[in-house]
Each structure stands twice: as C-alpha cells, then as structure tokens.
Amino acid sequence: MTDQYFTSAHQLLQQRVSGDYKSRAEDPEDPSTVQAMQIAINLPKQDPPSRNAVLNDAARAAVAVCLDPRAGQEGFWRAGLDNWYSHRIRKVARRARNKAWEDVQALPGVTIGSVRAFVPSAVADVPHEIAKLQIKGTELEPGEELPLDAAAPLVALDASLQMSAGKAAAQVGHASMLLAAARDTAWVRQWADAGFPLNVRELPREQFAEIAARPGAVPVRDAGFTEVAPGSITAVAIA
C-alpha cells in the first residue's frame, strides 16, 4: 500500500508542477491564492550547521514532503500540496533555535538534519509556531562543504547571484522537486529509499552555465519576488 501511495504522490507532482513559473498565478488581493511551503532552519548560536549542509538538508526535506506517502492519499497533506502546485510555488525559509525549533516538530512536515519543511498552505493560514519565526537572520558563512557522493544527483547554484542562505535553500528545494518530477517513478522510488542523497554546490557562473547546458539538466527559473531578477536561472538539478 505504501508503494501505491508513493506512486500517487509522484504522479501528482509530475502532473501539476511546471518548470515555467509564468504558468502559475496568484492574486495578492486574495490571500488564499498565495501559497507557500514554509522551511524552518535550526540555527543555534553555538556550532550552527554549515551553509552547504543547510542547503543539502533543505533540498532533501522539500522533496521528501512532496513524495511522502501521505501525499498519495486523500487528506490534509495531499490537499495542501495540490493547492500549492496550482499557484506560484513559493518557499519561505525561517530561522529557528532552541524551544522554537522543538515546537515546530509537531507540525505536519519532514525534518532532515537542520531543516524541517512543512506541508504548504496559504500564507494567511501559516501556524503561529511557524509565523513567529524570523525570516531574516538565516545568513551563514560558506564554510566546509559536504563530501561529494559520486552516485548522487547534483544540484548546482549560480554563485554569482549571491543569494542569501534562505533564498538559496528555497531554490535547492525547488530543484529537488523538479528533478523528481522529471524522472520516472522507479528512479524516484530508488532515490527516496536511499534518503534522497544529493550533492549541492554553489558554482561560478561559467561552471554553472556548463552544467545547465548538459542534456537532462533541470533548471529552476525564479519568479523574481525576492533578491534576483524574474526569469533568472538560480539552480540546476541533474541526475
């Protein structure tokens, strides 16, 4: 039964998600149409995770929410994703620590490492425990990168865009989703069973462009709500 639900969740993702942000619509005058996946990043004052580790966790947590078996059966989880897929696919990264991080663990979502991604909702309906978390304050120094896994897909970011850690976390989350939507269910099932392993790298513009031009590369084109110009290719996923 779990396989059936996984397949259904993947089919929903494939059918509803488009790489073209212009195909999605929202009306700022109608808050119910402005949907977002909230992402909480655990950033303790002492020994915070590296930027690369946070981006890796964010990419994996976002796609894990989309492919959770609960997304494959009728109910709150699937309805939240379906509404989100129908509109501009926004993500909002927030800083959490200590009790605030512990409190949000009870809300519907998936935690991987230092990141918890939540079932999307209208921005007007974000639970109080999440809404009170600061959107600012997610800056992280580059620091040490996680070792490369030769068997794992790559999510590359255009370092020349100089995105904040919160913005970059949203972009890698979108990249992992689009990668899953672009692959067949058998491949994605195997990826999920392994825990959605990924290599995340922020690369100079020239190297990023070379990867973006490879066959099978899946680009993320940003809608331009924050930090970058509309239509900018912020990230690329490649299996």
Joined together, the tokens standing for residue 218 give: 């899946």
pLDDT band at residue 22 using 50, 70 and 90 as cut-offs:
low
Percentage of the chain surpassing pLDDT 70? Answer: 91
What fold, for 2-238?
Answer: Bit1 (3.40.1490)
- The residue extents of the domains of the chain are 2-238
Contacts of 103 (CB under 8 A, 6+ apart): 129
How many other C-beta atoms can be found within 10 angstroms of the C-beta atom of residue 4? 11
At 237 the three-state DSSP class reads strand
Q: Tell me: the pLDDT tens digits for 218-239?
A: 999 877 667 776 788 999 999 8
**Which H or E run includes 35?**
strand 35-42
- State pTM to two decimals: 0.92
